[in-house]
Structure formats: C-alpha cells, structure tokens
Copies of this chain bind each other. A is one copy, B any other.
Amino acid sequence: MTEPTADLLPVGLEDRLPVAARALTRARRAALDALDLHGYERVIPPLVEFEKSLATRMSGVATRRMFRFVDPASLRTLALRSDMTVQIGRIAATSLKGAARPLRLCYAGEVATITADQLDPARQRLQLGAELIGSDSAAAAGEVVALAIEALTAAGARGVSVDFTLPDLVDTLAASALPLDADRIEAVRRELDAKDAGALKQAGGEAYLPLLYAAGPFDEALGKLAAIGGETAGGALESRIEGLRQIAARVGDRARLTLDPTERHGFEYQSWFGFTLYAEGVRGTLGRGGTYRIGGSDEAATGFTLYIDPLVDALDAAPSGDLLYLPPGHDPQVAARLRAIGWRSVAALHDGEDPAALGCTHRLEGDTPTAL
C-alpha cells in the first residue's frame, strides 16, 4: 500500500476501527433494544429503491442529495437511501396497510448523501428511530418523546435536553386569530426564523412580535405563548398548548425542556408538533421528531430519528475488557466453558507468540485464567 491515507476514502466516508466500532455496535444495540421493549417492531428496508418511490415521499431538495444510478433490470433510476423514514412510511402504507393501528415500527441502518451538509462533513450516517403510525395525538407525541429520550440514554447519552416547536404555528394563527394575507405568510415565517423584530414589522407581522419572546425554558416560554393564546390570539392556540403541557408532564423529569415555538429548520414535514434532541457534551442535534402525515397514504403518524454517530464519538472509549490467551495444547472444552461465562479468548496459532502483544490480559494455565 503506497497510496496516501487521505486518498484512501472519499471525503465524508470513514472506517470505524475496533474501538469506535465496538462503541457504535453497543450503542446501536442498546437503543434498538429500548425500542423493542416498548413494543416497536423492527423492519429492515433495502439500501436501494426506485428514486421516484423515495422522492415522492420526500421534499425535492433532499432527493437531489441522493446517490442515483440506472437499474439495468428495469431501466429506471434507483437511489441509495438518504432517509429511512420514507421507507418506513412506504411499508406502513403497503405491506403493513392491513396491520392493526396504532402500528409501532422501528429501524436502524446506514443512510448516505452524495453531498455533505454545511454543518456536518459526513456523507454516511447511522439512522435509528421509531414511528408510531395511526396517531398524531398528544398522547402519541408524549410516548414518542419519552421513547426517544430512553433510546438516547440507552445509547449512552447523559443530560438529554429536548427543544419543542410548533411547526404550523404561523399558518394556524394566520388563518384564525392573527390574520395575514396569504402572500405575507412566507415573509413572516422567514423573519420569525431570523428572529429579526424590525424586519418582522416591515413584513407586516407586527402582531407576531410576541412569539419572538416566547422561547426558552419550557414553563416560562409556554406561559408567554399561552398569554398570546389567551390575550391576543383568542384561544386559537389552546389545543396546541394543552398538547405541549401533556407531553412535558410525561417527560419533564427525564430531560431539560425548552420551547422555541417558531423554529422551523428541519421540520418541513411535521404538522402541529416537533422536537429536537441534544445531549451534554455533544455538539449539534442528535435527532428530531414530531407529528406528520405519511406521504402517499396521508395517514397520521408520530416518530423520531436519531443519528448516534456524534454521540458515540463523544463517549469515553469503553475499556476493551479482559482477553484470555489460550496457549498451544490448551483444553478446548475449558476454553469453551470460559467463553460461555463471558471470557473473550484468543487461541495460539503457534509456539512463541507474545500474548501481551496480541492484546491479551490473561493466559489460561490449566483451567484457570491467570493475569499476565
């Protein structure tokens, strides 16, 4: 091998070597086990699908970021998946159309994009999540937020915080208590995103100013939002505020909660409720979720997606544990019994090996593991 290492793999694609691979495997299994214990059944969709099938369930922007190629069998364009939630929606709407609702499904797998996004150079990520299909009620949202926190915690996260949002808030208010001309809605949403009070006024959104200040720690921010609902917006927000209260009551003891009711980034598909997940010591978001309608079938659903690679990268490397050297001529039955109680072993290939150099901590002497 004379190639320079930098040239070995395309930018944004990496190998996970033993220490990192062990940590990722452990975190992935623990998170999936948490979902399984709550009755979420795993499904495993393929890596590659018809581009059109993936695209009709996604926004146009996202599909341009997929790896695409022509299928010699069908002469149609295929794509490497960049998001598994659209696959879960497809399965719920087709093969599992007849299954009882609510339908609880979970998934874990690699997704890839042909271009990286500005904040994250990775072009391949492990995506892991759960979908509760057939309901977008506050009870469903509470279950899903609690489950997301439990899965993240199982994967090793500490100090989880959850930021709630109301993705269709402006649309709702514009159609009821704070009327807006249809051609101004987009500008008002944009300036709320930018948190620019002056531009918001100029865009004709003066009535929306109080929303800018209804963000922060959950209880305080919800109080401000409720005040807008009660005093300004004539009760239009009531059901959403009551939903948020229910969700917060369910998970408030497990995570730090904040509210940013006009946050839209990453919530292009969500309906009334969305949330973003963070953990102490990990930069950026670890996942997102919310209520939505499944593309194609238009069935109500609530779900979340986690990207646990940055979490695993931030965890302290777990100790690799004991490793038992089995010298030439050892009793294979003894070795098998020790493995059955959890010893990892490395068998001698020939005389004269150095067990320590192979990473071993112990050596089998007779039927006893002895520390090196």
Cβ-closest chain B residue relative to A138 = B349
**A43-B68 contact in complex given A38-B347, A76-B10, A349-B135, C-beta closer than 8 Å:** no
Across-interface contacts of A124 in B (CB, < 8 A): 46-48
Taking a contact as CB atoms under 8 Å apart, the answer to whether B69 and A42 are in contact is no
* A301 within 8 A of partner (CB): no
User: A126's closest neighbor in chain B, by CB?
Assistant: B44
Given the known inter-chain contacts A71-B10, A350-B139, please indicate yes or no for A1 contacting B97, CB distance below 8 A.
yes
Q: Does A370 contact B (CB under 8 A)?
A: no
Whether B1 pairs with A297 at a CB distance below 8 angstroms is yes
Q: Which of B49, B68, B90 contacts A69 (CB 8 A)?
A: B68
Given A110-B47, A137-B350: A38 and B90 within 8 A (CB)? Answer: no
Kindly identify, within residues 125 to 150 of chain A, every residue whose CB is under 8 Å from any CB belonging to chain B: 135, 137, 139-140, 143
B71 touches A42 (CB 8 A): no
Most buried by B among A10, A116, A123, A346: A10
Chain A count of residues within 8 A CB distance of the other chain: 85
Taking CB atoms, residues of chain B closer than 8 Å to A17 are 43, 91, 95-96
The interface-forming segment of A20-28, A183-191, A197-205 is A20-28
CB distance from A98 to the nearest CB of B (A): 12
Interface flag for A364 (CB, 8 Å)? no
Q: Is the CB of A21 within 8 A of B1?
A: no
Q: Which of B22, B37, B71, B139 contacts A114 (CB 8 A)?
A: B71
Q: Which of A11-55 contact B (CB under 8 A)?
A: 11-18, 20-22, 24-25, 29, 32, 36-39, 41-50, 53
The interface bits of chain A over 79-99 (1 if a CB of B lies within 8 angstroms of the residue's CB, else 0) are: 010000001001101111100
- Residue numbers in B under 8 Å from A67 (CB-CB): 48, 69, 78, 80
Point out the residue from B8, B12, B22, B104 that lies within 8 Å of A94, measured CB to CB: B8
Q: A29 to B36, alpha carbons, bound, how many Å?
A: 15
In this assembly, does A239 line the interface, its C-beta being within 8 Å of a C-beta of chain B? no
Q: Determine if A223 is an interface residue (Cβ-Cβ < 8 Å).
A: no
Q: Is there a chain B Cβ closer than 8 Å to A112's Cβ? A: yes
Contact between A115 and B22 (Cβ–Cβ < 8 Å)?
no
Interface assignment of A165: CB less than 8 Å from any CB of chain B:
no
Q: A53-B8, A346-B38, A357-B100 are in contact. Are A48 and B296 (CB under 8 A)?
A: no
- B-chain residues with CB within 8 Å of residue A21 when the two chains form the complex: 41-44
Give the top 7 A-B pairs by smallest Cβ distance, nearest first: A39-B346, A18-B41, A16-B44, A13-B46, A21-B42, A1-B93, A21-B44
